[in-house]
Amino acid sequence: MKLDREEVKHIALLARLGLTEADVEKFREQLSNILENFEILKQVDTSGVPPTSHPVALRNVLRDDEVRPSFSPKEILANAPREEDGCFRVRAVLE
């Protein structure tokens, strides 16, 4: 399966990655290769095999509804590029 350049740009946008035109061509080839390999894997008959979403056979890992101390706002905001009124300040978000 071959991806076209537009599809690569769409994927890059979803991942918020900025690609140069050269990058687009490079990743078009690499991603196409990955997809082709999956096409090969798809030839295996898995009709009787349940899908594996988790590599470890864990089930029902739950916690009781108990409140634990949170971090201080100082620690929470330690990596904030900018802060204001105890909040993270970010570029304008348009609805």
C-alpha dist (Å) from residue 74 to 67, 81, 83? 20, 13, 10
Structure tokens at 55: 């590599």
Site for another protein in 4-63 (CB under 8 A): 10, 13-14, 16, 53-54, 56, 58-63
Q: Smaller CB distance to another protein: residue 45 or 95?
A: 95
| Cα 56 from Cα 73, distance rounded (Å) | 35
Interface segment toward another protein; rule CB under 8 A; list 20-28, 31-39, 40-48, 80-88: 80-88
58 CB neighbour count, 10 Å cutoff: 7
Q: Smaller CB distance to another protein: residue 44 or 94?
A: 94
| Cα 26 from Cα 9, distance rounded (Å) | 12
Q: Which of 18, 43, 44, 68 binds another protein (CB under 8 A)?
A: 68
Return residues touching another protein (CB under 8 A). Answer: 10, 13-14, 16, 53-54, 56, 58-71, 73, 76-77, 84-95
